[in-house]
Every structure is written in C-alpha cells, then in structure tokens.
Structure 1
C-alpha cells in the first residue's frame, strides 16, 4: 500500500456533503460542522479562510482543511458572522433561524453574489486515514495554477444535476480533487522521499506483516542500524518499531470492522503471530480489546487532530 492509497482508502467519499455557496460581500460563514476533512474550492471572487492563521482563496484555488476545529470563511476578517454551519450541515443565522437553500446543492444570495465556492466534507471512520491525516497541516492550499480546471468544471456542472447515480459521480469527482491536492503535497514532503527514512516507510507500508527489525530495515536501506533509527526518528517523530506497531494496529482496527474476519485472521494479516498477541498489543495501545472495539466501532468518529508544526501549507 503506497502512502496516498493508504491515506485515501478510508477517506473515500460515500454520499459526501457538497454545497455550492453564492455570496455577496460583506459575508462571514462560521463553519463548526465538526467534519474531519473538508475541501473548499473557489469558483468566483475571493475569500479569507480563518482558523489559527489566515489564507486567501482566489478563483481556482483549492483548500484542504483538516480536523474538526471550527473555521470562518469571510470576505474580510473584520466582518461579523452572519451564518453558522452546524453538525449535520444544518445552516442557520447567528440567532438560530434556518437558512433556505437556493436549489439543488446550492445556498446563498438569490440575486447571484460576487463570490462563489464549493464546499465538500468527508466523514472518516478508517483508522488508517485517521493516522495518516495527522501528518497533514491544518490547512493545505493548492493554487489555481496547480489545480485541474477540467475536474473543477465537471464537479461544478454535476452539482446542479439530479440524474441517476448522481451521488456516486459527485463522490468520485470529489475524491479526484482531493487526490490531486494530496499528490502535490506528498511530492514536496521530504520525509517520504528521504533515501533512508522514506525507504523504510515505504517498506513498512508495503509489507506490514513482514517480520521487520531495525537491522533488516537498515540493510534494505543500505545504512547502519544507528543511522536508520536516528534518521527515521528525526523525520517521522517516533522510532521505526513504534511506528510499525501503530501502523499495524491501525490496519487491524479497520479490518476488525469486517465481521467475516476472525481475530486470528486479522492478526495474521497485520503481522501478529496469534489472536492473543494482537489482543494484548491492541489493548495496551488503545485501552480496549479488539472485541470491544469491534462492538463499538460503528459509533466511533474522528475527534482528535494534531496539525503538527506547520498549520498552513501553500503548494507551489
């Protein structure tokens, strides 16, 4: 499994929420829907996206916003909130009055404002995606020059239709837009391209069930054990074997959602010699047994996010 496949496998859109918003300045939307992952694509005009820091989106720009923390989309940081987006995509005025939609997947100024944007949100359940999304900045922006305009045009056109299979088409188009931004980000991320740490990461992701040791990873990377351990820890933030444990248990958590797999089968797929060994590691890491996790997993949501040292990244 390569990095992008792992990141997106659980983030694949399924009946994702999509909304075209048409606004006339001054405007300020407070987004507190608690979505773990959102895409904001500017079609016309410009807007400020404000969280801990601030970015400006112009036509064609795409922002990936990670984590459930609230953010604001406004024409100016000084503009007071007028509309609040709540969990479940309930849209109200600041005093709680429901806002009416303009039509199919569309909301805003009925006269046609000077600003137009598309927002798409994902609800994530995959532990693999949850783990890998922690490596993303809080806000990631792809300028118009790097955005596939044909893809944005298709998404915009499809949003106004009600043809059979429309939800599936929109989900896949949203996925493709997300992939295009994340591929650009990964291409510029040094960790995954480092000849030492990157090699080890690719090996662990490709063969998580293999009997890896630091010595074997170092041999495959062509360096000493001490250099591999030091370089990996510096770039990834934890030692190789600790990363492998977390990766295996994330894979196991996703596999546990399949009721047809026994605990022993899950253990073998992620590199544990027995169901007992997996249970012990799983409970030590997560505080509950695999059986308890399996029983409660349908109700679990992505609730924590660490944006890391770089809260905003603008791709070249």
Structure 2
C-alpha cells in the first residue's frame, strides 16, 4: 500500500461511485484536509470520501507532523471546484481546476409513507418547503419574523413543510414541523412548488438539480450573491428580512407558484446541469485517482504556484518599467532645460545687439 497525500481545495466551497470509472489496480491511503467543518460543507467531502472508500481506498488515520498548509497548497496538483458553468458565470480554467458542482446531488428516494401521504394530500395547491439550512436554527428566529411567517402560512392554500428546531405554538393546520427533513427527497417530489431557503450554495444546487423554484432569504456569507443569481436567472425571488410582512410573503409565494416562468427557467437550468458525460462524483473520483496514478501528476501544476507574490503580480517588471519611465522623464526634462537655456542665451544676445 502506497501512502499518498492529496490536498483538495474546494472553493467560493455528498453518493455512489459509478461503474463508468474503471476500478483502480490497487488501494491507496488518502489524506483529506478539511478546511471547513460545518455539517453542510462536509456533505461535499463526504460524497467523495465515501466513493473513494467504496473503491478500496483507506481517511481513518491521523498525521500530526504535516508540513505547513501554505506549502501543501503550493504543492497541490488538483483543485476540485464546487461550481458548474450552467449555474454560474463561465470562466477559463486550468487543466488542474475541475468543476464538480452539485457533487452531493442525487435523484430523490422514496419518502416515508406518512410524509408522502401528507404531500399527496395537498392536492393541486401543492406544498411549500421551508428550511434555513443546517447552521441557522428555526427557534433562533426573532419573534417578529416568526409571527409574520405564521400569519402568512395561515393565509396560504398550500401545505408547508417547515424545518424548525424546538416547539412552535400557533402554527395552522396546513403547517407540519420537524427538526429534520430529507431535503433532496422532498425537493424531488413533484408536488413541492417552492423552496424557501437561506440561499446557501448547496441548497441552491439541490433546488436547481431537482427543478424547484426558490424564495431566498439571505442571512450571511455568499447567500446574498446566490440570491442575486436566483433573481438574474429567473428561477425565483429574494426577500429582505428587515422588510418582511405577511402580505409580502403571501404575494411573493403566490407569484412564484402561479407564474410558470420560474418553473420553466429552473427546469431548463436543471436540464443543463444534469446533461454531463459523467456525474460530478465520477469526475472527482477519476481526477483524484489520476493524480495518484501519475505520482502526484506534476504535469497538472501551474508554474505560477511557485512564484512569490511579487513575481506573480509582476511587481518587479512594473518597478523596472516605472524606473525606465522616470529616467526617461528626467532625460526629457534635462533636454528641455538645455533647449530653454540655449533659447534664453540667444534672446539675450539679440537684445544686446
């Protein structure tokens, strides 16, 4: 068994391993450095780790004497990016930069019978799914916002699945509360009309993958930017917490559900995201094992990674150009002074004559 250290940088950062990728000739020990340890962000890493483990590789040892992270980063051969051109701005990428956006997304699984029956019982009005992610607890919501949502949901014809931790008083009969729901299986259900989300990247990808329009309520981090993507792509709308009212929530949800453009737009984006020659997970597995097979794959490494920040920004070249410009200006100044002095001497001679 050969030990291989693999550093994966998952950026502006869960599954099965498909038979499309040939099995490796041997198993390896793979060290995974996880820069973010929140539950939602771990989903990306867990998907790849489980797929690699299914292929015989070994992430159960600890290595206390690691080199500095900066040295490991400079020595990396592969960057797995949690992006995809169909759901973000297309960018030119190096061969070592591989897009694996929506790596954690998967087809929906059958729901528990009681949940399935509850969704079906909503009839043609459908269901609204409400979750603010794994970091924000429902019971941490300010009372004034909680009151607004309860009033808005009471006035809607749809049923509401609300991921809410803790006890909730005053909820109407069309609202079902739980501290956890199988989110992807919920979003995959055809009767779910809208996903009310905080706009986290993973939830955004899941909603697009399952073609569910969004109502985004950004809280922090990249969520406002993701909300702008939702609006610009026409796959949903955004509301600001400070401006929330029951009327505004009802009107916005009614628009998203009744206006077919949101469902059509997210359907087209979902089709584009799904239309790939191999799944993002298979692609991540292939390139990970490619680096292993080629003993670190130095051919993938960008030479710029070895440059200092002065060299990378070409500050030395810029300094040389500025120095040359300064010398040129001094030379021009001296020439102009010489010409001026000559002209003054000539003028003085003429006056004397």
TM-score when normalising by structure 2 = 0.26
Larger Rg: 2
Bigger relative CO (Cα 8 Å, ≥ 6 apart): 1
Q: TM-score, normalised by structure 1?
A: 0.28
Q: Which has the higher strand share?
A: 1
